[in-house]
Amino acid sequence: MSGLLQRLRAHPLALGLLGAGAVLGLGGLGWLARDLSASSEAASRPSLLQLLEQVTQPSPSRQLPPRRPAPPPPPRPAWVSPMARQCVDLDPRLRQRLEGELSALSVRRQRLTIDPSNYGVRFKSDAFGNPVDPTPQVVVLHETVFGIGSALSTFQTPHPRDEDQVSYHTLIGLDGQVIDVLDPSQRAFGAGNSAFNGRWVVTNPRVGGSINNFALHISLETPLDGEDNDSGHSGYSGKQYDALALVLADWMGRFPIPADHITTHRQVDLGGERADPRSFDWSELESRLAALGQLC
């Protein structure tokens, strides 16, 4: 820029022509603006009363966008829980054992922080201005595929791009260790494009809807033989099912989450790419939740 100015100073004629061009250009713009306003002014000249009203009312740009109906998720079959209702013949010994585990768990349970790019706040309205209920109402089960350390390291890594951001609320190691990374009040990025029983919330129209705004996400550490794309593996440990049942029982007591709102990533995923948690044994969870009185 300074080079151009120096050259213009060396050539006064060029400077003069440039100045004249600028004056003509601005004049032309002014004429165009006057012409446009003149044609619209005659049609809608505000009255003095309207002008006075505008003084006291917020400008349209400061008002909330008008509400529009949110698009519904694509139709899919409703979730049918594999767990049966159970109110009698509860297993008192299993309950006693799990209650013993619960007191040990409260001491062992860990809390880790993760990078803020990988989670968010729960929204109280969607992208179209409609109010939405941010209370957790669904639990989504996942598996880590690789070790729990790998999952934690991913959550602790900053991810500027939307498509890389990921998190769960809680993870359960093969040894039954429970690691909380997000409080239930926060919105984990556990299932991108997803819906549950005809429900989703659209918070970003570019990526479709998701259940994240009303879901809790929990992930089981995959056994070593599951670090691949196979359809199954050797399954989860008894200690994992114990810990899972105890975490779920706690959430079910704190939030409006009935047993048939415990589902899988495979079920809620609209992209058809997720198959987790593979080799999940619902009967293992069912017997424990029943003993804890959560299936009645």
Shortest Å distance, C-beta 1 to Zn ion:
53
Write the binding mask 184 to 203 for Zn ion: x where contact by CB under 5 A, - elsewhere. --------------------
Nearer to Zn ion, 142 or 288 (CB): 142
Nearest CB to Zn ion, comparing residues 265 and 278: 265
Residue with smaller CB distance to Zn ion, 122 or 265: 265
Smallest distance from Zn ion to CB 66, Å: 36
Is 217 a binding residue for Zn ion by CB under 5 A? The answer is: no
* Tokens 């989450």, located at residue: 257
Tell me, by CB under 5 A, how many residues bind Zn ion. 3
Q: For the CB of residue 276, give the shortest distance to Zn ion in the complex, in Å.
A: 4
User: Angle at CA 63, nearest 5°, toward 57 and 68?
Assistant: 135
For residues 50 and 157, which CB has a smaller minimum distance to Zn ion in the complex? 157
Nearest distance in Å: CB 296, Zn ion: 29
CB of 272 to Zn ion, least distance (A): 13
Query: Binder to Zn ion among 122, 142, 187, 278 (CB under 5 A)?
Result: 142
Q: Which stretch binds Zn ion (CB under 5 A): 74-82, 99-107, 140-148, 283-291?
A: 140-148
Give the interface segment with Zn ion, choosing from 54-62, 103-111, 136-144, 279-287 (CB under 5 A).
136-144
Question: Which residue number, 242 or 269, has a Cβ lying nearer to Zn ion?
Answer: 269
Query: How many C-beta atoms surround the C-beta of residue 124 within 10 A?
Result: 10
Task: Tell me the three-class secondary structure of the chain, residue by residue.
Answer: CHHHHHHHHHCHHHHHHHHHHHHHHHHHHHHHHHHHHHHHHHHCCCCHHHHHHHHHCCCHHHCCCCCCCCCCCCCCCCCCCCCCCCCCCCCHHHHHHHHHHHHHHHHHCEECCCCHHHEEECCCECCCCCECCCCCCEEEEEECCCCHHHHHHHHHCCCCCHHHCCCCCEEECCCCCEEECCCCCEEECCCCCECECCECECCCHHHCCECHHHEEEEEECCCHHHCCCCCCCCCCCHHHHHHHHHHHHHHHHHCCCCHHHEEEHHHHECCCCCCCCCCCCHHHHHHHHHHCCCCC
For residues 233 and 265, which CB has a smaller minimum distance to Zn ion in the complex?
265
Q: x/- site string to Zn ion, residues 259 to 278, per CB under 5 A?
A: ------x----------x--
Of residues 274 and 287, the one with the C-beta less far from Zn ion: 274
CB of 121 to Zn ion, least distance (A): 21
CB of 265 to Zn ion, least distance (A): 3
Binding site for Zn ion (CB under 5 A): 142, 265, 276
